[in-house]
Amino acid sequence: MTGSQFGVFGIDPWWLVLLKALAIFVMLVLLTLFTIWWERRVVSRMQNRIGPNRVGPFGLLQSLMDGFKLGLKEEIIPKAAHVGVYWIAPVISATAAFLAFAVIPFGPTVSIFGVETPLQLTDFPVSVLYVLAIASIGIYGIVLAGWSSGSTYPLLGGLRSSAQMISYEIAMGMSFVAVFLYAGSMSTSEIITAQEPIWFAVILLPSFLIYVTSMVGETNRAPFDLPEAEGELVGGFHTEYSSLKFAMFFLAEYINMVTVSALATTLFLGGWLAPWPISLWESANTGWWPLLWWLIKVQIFIFVFIWLRATLPRLRYDQFMKFGWKVLIPASIVWIMVVAAARVLRNDIEFSNRQLLIGGAIVIAVLLVGSWFAQGALDRREAARKFIREEIDSRPFEPMAGGFPVPPMPGQQAVLTTRRSNIPVVQQEAIDG
């Protein structure tokens, strides 16, 4: 890559690249096993149960054993499945889940076997967009799984997930924009260094909230797990999958959880930077310590995922889509406009903070007055509508208005006339002419 700032990336010897890739792979698989156990334990606690505690210390090896069992189960492929696509769908899902982690930073430059190298596989000027791109490829796995199963419920699950992911990806992408504006870069490592004095979660709180909401939608987790809503769609897109293929979807879902959590940490919580009281310690951000801070932050997000699942009921599909399109996306657009305007005013026109605050107050006042007028206009329109409705409701229903059979207007009672002999004589004459 060009640009001096990426000098530390792309110069590792080949064995180190291989080592890092392997380490990331192993870490993701272990994190998946751990997260499944963690989720089951936490949800159990929240439901006054104990949860898995038999295999290994605290039941930690439970998910490993479950994984073995899942892999050894019989595989059932439906007759109506489109075989090629059916095979490749879980592969796409799992591969994409692993790929996204290539640009996530775990820590600063450390020394591995005498080579100075950053704790990150690679980085380039648009690496956050790379994560988005890989996520959008991962959706193909789910959608294709739904289609290729040759069955109704999976197809509905696939449909839902494609609509859901497109909608929530827009909100997600927009929540990045404010971060890019403040960091002046789209590379993960530079975004972290840009958060050295203060995290973006603090100064860009609305972006952070929008991202956290959309990341739950993006990973198909409760309360947004509509593509696999078991009450409505059996298992959704993976209904017809069994054995190792199902295990791959399972793996992909948990890795995706870790990925979006890691991205949230990177973009908003300062990545591997130490949190405040620890950051007073001089060497908190050097050596291998940052890996620990990173892991703790990611685990906090994962805990939130689990907490949400144990607490909230699933949303209704139309409410969910409405929330994405009518709340999250407009809110992000407005917020981006505010951030961009504030930055232009401060950087180019050199407004002071005080002038910005006064300007903001004026804008809010204008909006308030405007909304008052708008409400008045809306009320008048509603009153007019109500008048017309009452006017129509008061008229009796004419089944043959204008000589043609017409349906009743809302509020009017239909006359049940299915047989010719039932129609009043006057109207029969109207039909016969």
| Residues at the site binding other proteins, with contacts judged by CB under 8 A | 1-3, 82, 85, 124-126, 129-130, 132-137, 139-140, 143-144, 146-147, 155, 158-159, 162-163, 165-166, 169, 173, 186, 316, 389, 409-411
Q: What share of the chain is helix, strand, coil (3-state, %, to 5)?
A: 70, 5, 30
260, 215 in Cβ contact below 8 A? yes
Distance of closest approach, residue 162 Cβ to other proteins, in angstroms: 5
Q: Which is nearer to other proteins, 411 or 424 (CB)?
A: 411
Q: Which is nearer to other proteins, 1 or 300 (CB)?
A: 1
Q: Which is nearer to other proteins, 44 or 136 (CB)?
A: 136
Q: Which is nearer to other proteins, 73 or 380 (CB)?
A: 380
According to the 3-state scheme, what is the secondary structure of 326-352?
HHHHHHHHHHHHHHHHHHHHHHCCCCC
Q: Which is nearer to other proteins, 31 or 315 (CB)?
A: 315
Distance of closest approach, residue 56 Cβ to other proteins, in angstroms: 40
Distance of closest approach, residue 121 Cβ to other proteins, in angstroms: 15
Distance of closest approach, residue 159 Cβ to other proteins, in angstroms: 5
Q: Which is nearer to other proteins, 129 or 345 (CB)?
A: 129
Q: What angle do CA 57, 63, 68 make, to 5 degrees?
A: 120
Distance of closest approach, residue 268 Cβ to other proteins, in angstroms: 20
Output 289-293 pairs: Cβ under 8 A, ≥24 positions apart. Answer: 289/107, 290/106, 290/107, 290/108, 290/119, 291/106, 291/107, 291/119
Q: Which is nearer to other proteins, 282 or 391 (CB)?
A: 391
Distance of closest approach, residue 186 Cβ to other proteins, in angstroms: 7
- Cα separation values, 318 from 225, 226, 284, Å: 13, 11, 47
Question: What's the CA gap between 235 and 90, in Å, rounded?
Answer: 15
Q: Which residue has the tokens 């999250």?
A: 328
351, 358 in Cβ contact below 8 A? no
Distance of closest approach, residue 135 Cβ to other proteins, in angstroms: 8
130, 196 in Cβ contact below 8 A? no
For residue 166, the one-letter residue type is: I
Distance of closest approach, residue 124 Cβ to other proteins, in angstroms: 5
DSSP H or E segment with residue 320: helix 317-322
Q: Which is nearer to other proteins, 31 or 339 (CB)?
A: 339
Q: Which residue has the tokens 């260094």?
A: 193
Q: Which is nearer to other proteins, 396 or 410 (CB)?
A: 410
According to the 3-state scheme, what is the secondary structure of 167-184?
HHHHHHHHHHHHHHHHHC
Distance of closest approach, residue 73 Cβ to other proteins, in angstroms: 28
> Angle formed by the axes of helices 243-268 and 14-46, to 10°?
100
